[in-house]
A and B are shown apart, each in its own frame.
Chain A
Amino acid sequence: MDLTLKRINKHFKGRTVLEDISFDVGPRELVSIIGPSGVGKTTLLKIIAQLEQPTGGEVVFPEPPSRKHPVILVFQDYVLFPGMTVRGNIGFGLKSRRIKKAEIRERVDRMLEYFRLEEQSGHYPAQLSAGQKQRVAIARAMIINPAVLLLDEPFANLDRSLKMETAGFIRKTQKEFGIPTISVTHDLEEAFAMSDRIGILLDGRLKQYDAPKEIYFHPNSYDVARFLGPVNIIPRNLYQLFGINGERGQQDRILARPENLVLEPLENGAGRIQEVTFAGHYIVYSVSLQDRVFTVYSHQDSFRPGQEVALKIKPYGEQ
């Protein structure tokens, strides 16, 4: 049975924050809802966590959340209990259930080991790094086997270098414990890396809900495509120049990511290199073609400004 959101609406002070949000999360699934800041992501989580009431619609749980199997929201800044040690924080839920001390000790020990927090077990939250705090917060939730785990911006407080590692860790943990998890974030790469399915939340609406690859390569609208990264629009009249034909050629326009365009040196080619920017592991080329400018990411750094080139789209299979 899935956790299902049915037409969730939320109005706040006459403003529509969320409109008609519907999606479902499978029993062992990790889902990310991505959207820009201030789009109502946290509100959505709070509604699922039952900390806020929706104006309309309902959240249907496979089994109604109870004290035994609650919905747990891991806050963006973790909200650990500052007066308790790591051990105290992780054991909090068990102690609240009046479980025997020896059993609490044993179960907390297992969590400390899994979350690599053994050395910090006696530390207070103020002595921990952001990554450690987050692991405590997730361990504190996992130990009571929640019905659903909600993560609010799990990467927001982490160093750049730690984000991807954390995404991997969250995915591994989620698969290990098998707890349906919904995360909201604006960190695209990490969300893509860890999620089974992704929802794009723009202007209070869920624009697309699908597997990461589908979303990335087949965005259902320009807004979704644009939100996920720079995108080029190829109008129909340029299809021939780009070498587009067959089934693909039936569409009115094609959305192409910069990495899906290729440059070929060609004298008197239709395109002309305008700008070359070094961006680390790839080069960004701005190419003018008729009255448009296209962005291309390439590993070749042999093109020079002013050079005439042909611009092609990669065949489907190479995407």
Chain B
Amino acid sequence: MKSAKLLLRLSPLLIPYLILFCGGVFLTVGQSLGFLTPLPYTGGTFEAYTQLFSDPHFLASFLFSLQVALASALLSVTAGTLLAYWVWKLPQRLQTAAIVYKIPLILPHIAVAFVVLIFWSRSGIVASLAHSLGLIDAMQEFPNLLYSGWGLGMILAYSLKGTPFAMLLIMALLLRFDSRQIQAAYMLGASRLQTFFRVVLPRIAPAMQTGFIILFLYSFGAFDIPYLLSESRPGMLSVNVYNLYFKRDLARRPEAMAMLTFMFCFAVLLIVAYSKIVNRLEDAERKI
């Protein structure tokens, strides 16, 4: 009786979770195994997975996605940390003005992708600026940054969105940080660098970790920015799923679903590993 009441009170949370999330995952996993597919499925239960893992393109895509996500999350958190620290140390008046850093937060990802495209493509603003300044003879000489095979365009777009996000998280912790700790460290003879690494960084590390994991998982699986800025070979996993789902034979639906399932499992594994590490670290710091 008691638990029934509890379930009832939780229902606004539980019902959408059960229907949308669990239902979605169930359908995805089911279709990846050949059940509930739109066309009658003739292959074996794990055929989609076997196919997936034996495909070198998939592996390349996975590594590429990993690399883009890692680079953009690292870049965002590093830039976000340094900028947040810098803004925090500004005089109060300038700090209020520095609020402009939040603007990219309200821009949709797709808009940021366009900004990158407009600025950095071979026919973009930077290229034409370089041309009119005489740095390059023809627009075509501008390095092909966006499609260099390294995913630079995507990394740039993700970092533009991710940096202010990381700043936001870190600023929240810095606002509660006693600046006299920095004075104390200087008085005791620590250099600026030592003070930053030994006194400031440990205090904002939790926000940096959380920011990193959120940004990493987002850029690993998001679709909008890669759709605009991705390169085809290797492509990002999310774009591959999209192509498999919409542009290929309906019979390949299990493969698309297997890829989604794989991405989901990877994200879950990462979060589990992350919280284990954090728990162990916090055990040491709980006394603080």
**Which residues in A have some Cβ–Cβ distance to B below 8 Å?**
49, 51, 67-68, 70-73, 75, 79, 81-83, 92-93, 95-97, 123-127, 140-141, 144
181-231 of chain B: CB within 8 A of chain A: 181, 183-185, 187-191, 194, 198-199, 202-203
B1 within 8 A of A: no
A144 touches B189 (CB 8 A): yes
A124 touches B188 (CB 8 A): no
B180 touches A79 (CB 8 A): yes
A75 surroundings in chain B (CB, below 8 A): 180, 184
- Count B-side interface residues using an 8 Å CB cutoff: 19
B106 within 8 A of A: no
B2 within 8 A of A: no
A125 and B184 CA atoms in complex are apart in Å by 15
B287 within 8 A of A: yes
| Contact A93/B181 with A82-B288, A124-B288 known, Cβ cut-off 8 Å | no
Residue B287 contacts which of A79, A92, A124 (CB distance < 8 angstroms)?
Answer: A124
A73 and B180 CA atoms in complex are apart in Å by 11
| Contact A73/B187 with A81-B199, A96-B194 known, Cβ cut-off 8 Å | yes
Residue A92 contacts which of B180, B185, B285, B288 (CB distance < 8 angstroms)?
Answer: B185
- Looking at the assembled complex, report how far the CB atom of B171 sits from the nearest CB atom of chain A, in whole angstroms: 19
Residue in B closest to A88 when the chains form the complex, CB atoms: B198
Residue A140 contacts which of B188, B198, B202, B287 (CB distance < 8 angstroms)?
Answer: B188
A68 surroundings in chain B (CB, below 8 A): 189
A125 surroundings in chain B (CB, below 8 A): 288
B285 surroundings in chain A (CB, below 8 A): 83
- Looking at the assembled complex, report how far the CB atom of B46 sits from the nearest CB atom of chain A, in whole angstroms: 48
A93 and B181 CA atoms in complex are apart in Å by 13
A96 touches B287 (CB 8 A): no
B55 within 8 A of A: no
Residue A96 contacts which of B178, B189, B202, B203 (CB distance < 8 angstroms)?
Answer: B189
B188 touches A123 (CB 8 A): no
| Contact A92/B190 with A124-B288, A126-B287 known, Cβ cut-off 8 Å | yes
A70 and B108 CA atoms in complex are apart in Å by 51
A91 and B178 CA atoms in complex are apart in Å by 20
A210 and B123 CA atoms in complex are apart in Å by 80
A68 and B189 CA atoms in complex are apart in Å by 7
Query: CB-defined interface of B109-124 with A at 8 Å, one 1/0 digit per residue?
Result: 0000000000000000
A96 touches B190 (CB 8 A): yes
A72 touches B188 (CB 8 A): yes
Residue B181 contacts which of A67, A79, A95, A140 (CB distance < 8 angstroms)?
Answer: A79
A89 and B214 CA atoms in complex are apart in Å by 33
